[in-house]
Chains A and B, each alone.
Chain A
Amino acid sequence: MKKIAFHTLILAFCCGMISSAASAEDVTCFESRKGASEVTQRELKPGWPNVKCSPKTGAVLWWGDPFDGTVPMGEMPLLDKTAAAKAVVKPRSEKLNILPMCGTACHNGVGPKFMPPTLPKDKNPKPIPTMEGLLPDAKNLQHGRGRIWCLDCHHTTQRNKLVDNFGNPVSFDQPQLLCGKCHGDKLRDWRDGIHGKRIGEWASTGKKRWFVCTECHNPHNVQDGARNRGFIQIEPETPPQLPHGMKDAKYELLHGVSQH
């Protein structure tokens, strides 16, 4: 009898350990697409989480504070109607793992072997094994279907920047200034809130967090043969309950529908 009690005690102790370990573990979920912007779950105030996540897919389902971790979007052409503080974004550069290296380690403008350092002679595509190793997407560049290449979007000398039509650098936090070069109709719709996603206050004068282009679209892989829309394929959430008395979803396909 004593032995059983002892074992129970051990078991209870272990369970306690496991549960405490699990609660200490951070829950990380993704906002729009996997790999674009991950959020760690925490409590803003007791009983009020910053995000609620889907247990099945790990996607963010609900924001406790839509402006958590955001900064003002900055200047945006033709956006004079919106006050600067009313449009906020989550900085993209924090989420891009190799970005801090880009301007310092390799493409820093100085180097022993490169004359001129790391500057290509023209914009024609050629294999770059180093980049492909660092960024697998580069090997399978779908964007433009072979009509554009790295330096059409990335700045020639400042690799931690993008490039606009005049060759001026554009921050990675404002990819819309680059994407809008070609996708002007989408930029217009995005500016007016018709294209893309915003969270926050719904009034046209309200404060909103804007999702920028690259939070939803992978710019290297916007067109993929296996899907039929601009957005990447994702795992769906669980289906609803079947209607009462229906054994499976295929029932009607196999048994016909009564035409009343």
Chain B
Amino acid sequence: MTPNENSPVGPDQELSSECSAQAASAAPLEPVQTTTSRRDFLKGGGMLSLSSLVGAGALMAQTDDAQAAIEWAEHFQGNYRLMTPQEKAEARARLERRYSAEYGKKVTVDGTEAKDGVLMGYALNIRKCIGCRRCVKACVAENNQSRGPNPGERIEWIQVLRMERGEFSKEKMDHGYPEGLGIQVGGNAYTPAGQVLEGQYHYEPKAVPEKDATYMPIACMQCEKPPCVKVCPVRTTYREADGPVVIDYNWCIGCRMCMGACPYWARRINLTSPILPKEEMNPVTHYLGNRPRMRGVVEKCHWCLQRTRQGRYPACVEVCPVGARKFGNLLDPESEVSLILARKNVFRLKADLNTFPKFFYFYD
């Protein structure tokens, strides 16, 4: 079935053999025509790969068609982590050209590397959070997520879980939850304290905080031993030297292994083509950060790499109206996060999984 064996291509054209393998993905459709003989089929396959080669050659030769040339080169670039500095710069310049044309404004794709002596850390005051979701929306405003109206088109990296406080009352002593199964969860029957059901983060009261609820925002924990990195078959997601776990979106194959491996529900996939209005697009981007993603790749929180590498707080830290979110350098004993670790009661979510998050929850 591999078209290379069948195609009448000389060795001089081997340069683009990889391309023909890609383009001939339509070949499996051919055997459906049961009447065709093997010869016809081979001929068909050969013609197909030949035509794809011609197309590829045309694409490569057509330097005036900038858009096509950019996408062509982008398609065959390597894993960002393995690129030389020059290749990285070229890849970023390609993307800048493409995004600027696509969004009608000057888009910059930054490639600032990790600084020595920096290990980013995050702390969140779980007692202060009022569940207003401003962090969720600020993240979307900063990080160019898809924001369409249809299912799967709206991507948000931060989830704010609502947990019932629960109460103990004599009248409810005999009640069980869920009804009929006799399993009691959380604090009490019918008031499952601390239990998170899928629907519970869709709360929509007039005002928060509600009297009977506490809130727990979760996003990527930027683990020191990230399960998502362990499972990635193409090694496109990896831990940067200053802490955050990042994704090279161009190298991602969309297999979603990482989504299954992540115990914190932090990763999202672009099942549809992302909907990102031109006027809302944030033109200051980072290659491993908030640059616009394509369909079929996984994305997640990266602690606003385009901001934090330039010294600025992440967007969610800045927007939090109650100041529950803190960010800083774990190696600096004077940083906010280090002081919190030294003074406050701190825990990590699902610490028993030995993922060693750099995201700490604390309370006064």
Do A and B truly interact? Answer: yes
Chain A interface (Cβ < 8 Å from any Cβ of B): 32-33, 47, 52, 54, 59-63, 66, 81, 189, 192-204, 206, 211, 216, 226-229, 231, 233-244, 246, 248-253, 255-257, 259
Task: Give every chain A residue within 8 A of B244 (Cβ-Cβ).
Answer: none
A33 near B321 with CB under 8 A, answer: yes
Contact of A233 with B336 in the complex, beta carbons under 8 Å: no
Which single residue of chain A is at the shortest CB-CB distance from B123?
Answer: A194
CB under 8 Å from chain A, chain B span 188-206: 197-206
The CA-CA distance from A193 to B137 in the complex, in Å, is 23
Of B141, B151, B180, B321, the most chain A CB neighbours within 10 A belong to B321
Contact A229 B328 (CB under 8 A): no
Q: List 7 A-B contacts (CB under 8 A).
A: A54-B137, A189-B364, A203-B328, A231-B130, A234-B208, A241-B154, A259-B183
Q: In the complex, what residues of B have CB within 8 A of residue A201's CB?
A: 311-313
A61, B282: Cα distance in complex, Å: 13
Task: Given contact pairs A59-B134, A236-B205, A250-B199, enumerate 11 new A-B contacts (beta carbons under 8 Å).
Answer: A47-B283, A54-B134, A60-B319, A61-B134, A202-B312, A202-B327, A203-B329, A233-B130, A234-B207, A236-B208, A240-B136
One of B208, B312, B323 near A211 (C-beta < 8 A):
B323
The residues of A that contact B318 with a CB separation of less than 8 Å are 62-63, 66, 199
The answer to whether A231 touches B141 (Cβ under 8 A) is no
Question: Bound complex: CA of A195 vs CA of B200, how far in Å?
Answer: 28
Q: Which of B90-98, B246-254, B339-347 contacts A (4 or more CB under 8 A)?
A: B339-347
**Closest CB-CB distance, A67 to chain B, in whole Å?**
11
Taking a contact as CB atoms under 8 Å apart, the answer to whether A197 and B321 are in contact is yes
Contacts of A60 in B (CB 8 A): 319
Complex CA–CA separation, A66 to B209 (angstroms): 27
Could you tell me if B199 and A231 are in contact, using CB atoms closer than 8 angstroms?
no
* B336→A193 contact, CB < 8 A: yes
Chain A residue nearest to B328 in the complex (CB): A202
Which chain A residues border B202 with CB–CB below 8 Å? 239-240, 242, 249
Q: A244 to chain B: which residues have CB within 8 Å?
A: 151-152
**Of all chain A residues, which has the CB nearest B215?**
A236
Once the chains are docked, how many angstroms separate the CA of A151 from the CA of B156?
Answer: 48
- For the complex, what is the distance from the CA of A142 to the CA of B310, rounded to whole Å? 43
Decide: A203 near B311, CB < 8 A? Known: A194-B340, A253-B197, A259-B183: yes
Chain A residues whose CB sits within 8 angstroms of the CB of B26 once the complex forms: none
Residue of B nearest to A32 (CB): B321
Interface size on B, residues (CB 8 A): 64
Distance (Å) between the CB of B172 and the closest chain A CB? Answer: 15
Query: Taking A233-B209, A243-B198, A253-B197 as contacts, is the C-beta distance between A197 and B315 under 8 angstroms?
Result: no
> Closest approach, in angstroms, between the C-beta of B106 and any C-beta of chain A?
8
Q: Given the known inter-chain contacts A239-B201, A244-B152, please indicate yes or no for A231 contacting B134, CB distance below 8 A.
A: no
In the assembled complex, which residues on chain B have CB atoms less than 8 Å from the CB atom of A231?
128, 130, 209, 321-322
Task: Report if A240-B159 is in contact (Cβ < 8 Å); known contacts: A201-B312, A216-B321.
Answer: yes
Question: Is the Cβ of B339 less than 8 Å from the Cβ of A194?
Answer: yes
CA distance A47 to B197 in the complex (A): 41
Residues of B within 8 A of A233 (CB): 130, 207-209
- Closest A-B pairs by Cβ, 3 of them: A256-B178, A197-B323, A249-B199
Query: Quick check: is B133 within 8 A (CB to CB) of the other chain?
Result: yes
**Residues of chain B contacted by A198 (CB below 8 angstroms):** 313, 323
A60 CA / B332 CA spacing, docked (Å): 30
Q: Which residue of A lies closest to B283 (CB)?
A: A47
A199 touching B313 in the complex, CB below 8 Å, given contacts A234-B321, A252-B197: yes
Within 8 A of A (CB), among B120-142: 127-128, 130-134, 136-138, 141-142
Q: Of residues A197, A202, A243, which shows the largest number of chain B Cβ atoms within 10 Å of its Cβ? A: A202
List the B side residues contacting A246 at CB < 8 Å. 198-199
On whether the beta carbons of B204 and A235 are closer than 8 Å, the reply is no
| Residues B197 and A240 in contact, CB atoms below 8 Å apart | no
In angstroms, Cα B203 to Cα A235, docked, is 12
In the complex, which residues of chain B have a beta carbon less than 8 angstroms from the beta carbon of A249?
199-200, 202-204
